[in-house]
Chain A
Amino acid sequence: MAKQTQQGAAVLQGTLDMLILRTLLYGPAHGHQIGKHIQRTTNDFLQMQHGSLYPALHRLERRGWVVSKWETAPDRNREFKYYRLTEKGRKQLLVEESQWKQMAEAVARVMWPAAEES
Chain B
Amino acid sequence: MKPTASLRSFLTGLFHPAQVAGEVEDELRSHIAHRADDLERAGLSRAQAERRARIELGSRERYREECSEVAGVNFFRTFFADIRFSLRLLRKSPGFTIAALVTLTLAIGANAIVFSVLNALVLRPVNVPDGRHVYQVEQKDHVPSQSYPDYVDLRDRNTAFDALAAYEIDKAGLDADGRPAATWFYDVSANYFDVLRVQPYLGRFFHAADEHGVNSMPYVVLSFAYWQSHFNGDREVVGRAVRVNGNAYTILGVAPEGFRGTELFFSPDFWAPVVNTESKYFLTGRAVRGLWLVGHLGPGVTLARATADLNAIAAYLSKTYPKEDGGIGFLLTKPGLVGDMLGGPVKAFATALMLLSALILLAACANLGSLFAARAADRSREVALRLALGSSRGRILRQLLTEAVLVSLGGAGAGIAGALALLRLLNAWQPVPDIPMNVPAYADARTYMVALGLALVSGLLFGMVPVRQVMKANSYQGIKAGAAGTAAMRRFTLRDALLTLQIALCAVLVTSSLVAVRGMMRSLHSNFGFDPRNAMQVNTDLSMSGYKGDQIPVMQRRMLDAIQGIPGVTAAGFADRIPLNIGWSDTWVYRDSTTDYKPANRVTDAMEYKASPGYFEAAGTTMRAGRGFTWDDKKGAPMTAVVNQEFARVVFGSEQNAIGRWFKIWGGTRVQVVGICENGKYVTLSEDPQPAMFLSILQSASDDTWFIVRSNHGPEELGPALERTLNGLNTGLPFVVSTWKRELGLALFAARAASLALGVLGSLGAMLAVTGIFGMAAYAVSKRTRELAIRAALGAQRAEILRVALGRAAKLLAIGSAAGLILGILASRVLAFIVYQATPRDPLVLAGVVLAMALLGVVATWIPAQRALFLDPLVLLREE
- Which residues of B18-56 have CB atoms within 8 Å of chain A's CB atoms? 24, 26-28, 30-31, 33-35, 37-38, 56
CB distance from A28 to the nearest CB of B (A): 15
* Contact between B33 and A49, CB atoms less than 8 A apart: no
CB distance from B405 to the nearest CB of A (A): 30
Contact residue among B1, B2, B37, B67 (Cβ-Cβ distance under 8 Å from A55) = B67
Question: Is B66 interfacial (CB 8 A cutoff)?
Answer: yes
Quick one: closest A residue to B66, CB to CB? Answer: A55
Interface of A, helix, strand, loop or mixed by DSSP? helix
Question: Is A101 interfacial (CB 8 A cutoff)?
Answer: no
Question: Is A80 interfacial (CB 8 A cutoff)?
Answer: yes
Quick one: closest B residue to A36, CB to CB? Answer: B38
* Contact between A78 and B27, CB atoms less than 8 A apart: no
Question: Is B58 interfacial (CB 8 A cutoff)?
Answer: yes
* Contact between A54 and B27, CB atoms less than 8 A apart: yes
CB distance from B682 to the nearest CB of A (A): 79
Quick one: closest A residue to B2, CB to CB? Answer: A64
* Contact between B34 and A80, CB atoms less than 8 A apart: yes
* Contact between A32 and B24, CB atoms less than 8 A apart: no
Contact residue among B31, B33, B37, B67 (Cβ-Cβ distance under 8 Å from A50) = B31
Contact residue among A54, A63, A64, A80 (Cβ-Cβ distance under 8 Å from B67) = A54
Quick one: closest B residue to A49, CB to CB? Answer: B58
* Contact between B58 and A50, CB atoms less than 8 A apart: yes
Q: Which residues of A contact B71 (CB under 8 A)?
A: 58, 62
Instruction: Report A33-74 CB contacts with B as 1/0, cut-off 8 Å.
Output: 000100000000000011110110011011110000000000
* Contact between B59 and A59, CB atoms less than 8 A apart: no
Given the complex of chains A and B, what is the CA–CA distance between A49 and B32 in angstroms?
A: 12
Given the complex of chains A and B, what is the CA–CA distance between A80 and B37 in angstroms?
A: 14
* Contact between B63 and A59, CB atoms less than 8 A apart: no
- Which residues of B340-378 have CB atoms within 8 Å of chain A's CB atoms? none
Given the complex of chains A and B, what is the CA–CA distance between A55 and B69 in angstroms?
A: 9
- A31-B31, A58-B71, A59-B70 are contacts. A51–B62 as well, Cβ < 8 Å? yes
Question: Is B424 interfacial (CB 8 A cutoff)?
Answer: no
Contact residue among B1, B2, B58, B70 (Cβ-Cβ distance under 8 Å from A51) = B58
Contact residue among B9, B30, B59, B67 (Cβ-Cβ distance under 8 Å from A78) = B30
* Contact between B27 and A81, CB atoms less than 8 A apart: yes
Contact residue among A2, A30, A52, A58 (Cβ-Cβ distance under 8 Å from B30) = A30
CB distance from A91 to the nearest CB of B (A): 16
Q: Which residues of B contact A64 (CB under 8 A)?
A: 1-2
Q: Which residues of A contact B70 (CB under 8 A)?
A: 55, 58-59, 62
- A52-B58, A55-B67 are contacts. A62–B6 as well, Cβ < 8 Å? yes
Q: Which residues of B contact A36 (CB under 8 A)?
A: 38
* Contact between B35 and A51, CB atoms less than 8 A apart: no
Most buried by B among A36, A51, A62, A81: A51
Question: Is B57 interfacial (CB 8 A cutoff)?
Answer: yes
* Contact between B34 and A51, CB atoms less than 8 A apart: no
- A54-B28, A58-B67, A62-B71 are contacts. A78–B33 as well, Cβ < 8 Å? yes
* Contact between B35 and A50, CB atoms less than 8 A apart: yes
Given the complex of chains A and B, what is the CA–CA distance between A30 and B58 in angstroms?
A: 18
Q: Which residues of B contact A2 (CB under 8 A)?
A: 58
Q: Which residues of A contact B26 (CB under 8 A)?
A: 81
Question: Is B446 interfacial (CB 8 A cutoff)?
Answer: no
CB distance from A73 to the nearest CB of B (A): 8
Question: Is B60 interfacial (CB 8 A cutoff)?
Answer: yes
* Contact between B27 and A52, CB atoms less than 8 A apart: no
Quick one: closest B residue to A67, CB to CB? Answer: B1
- A58-B67, A62-B6 are contacts. A49–B31 as well, Cβ < 8 Å? no
CB distance from A65 to the nearest CB of B (A): 10
Given the complex of chains A and B, what is the CA–CA distance between A98 and B56 in angstroms?
A: 32
Contact residue among A51, A61, A63, A79 (Cβ-Cβ distance under 8 Å from B28) = A51
Contact residue among A62, A63, A76 (Cβ-Cβ distance under 8 Å from B37) = A76
Q: Which residues of B contact A79 (CB under 8 A)?
A: 30
Can you list 30 A-B contacts with CB-CB less than 8 angstroms, sorted by A residue number? A30-B31, A30-B34, A32-B30, A32-B35, A36-B38, A49-B56, A49-B57, A50-B56, A50-B58, A51-B58, A51-B60, A54-B24, A54-B63, A54-B66, A54-B67, A55-B67, A55-B69, A55-B70, A58-B67, A58-B71, A61-B1, A62-B1, A62-B9, A62-B71, A62-B72, A76-B37, A78-B33, A78-B34, A79-B30, A81-B30
6 closest residue pairs by CB, A with B? A49-B58, A55-B66, A51-B58, A51-B63, A58-B70, A32-B34
Q: A49-B56, A55-B70 are in contact. List 20 more A-B contacts (CB 8 A).
A: A2-B58, A30-B30, A32-B35, A49-B58, A54-B24, A54-B28, A54-B63, A54-B66, A55-B66, A55-B67, A58-B67, A61-B1, A62-B1, A62-B72, A63-B1, A64-B1, A78-B30, A78-B34, A80-B30, A81-B26
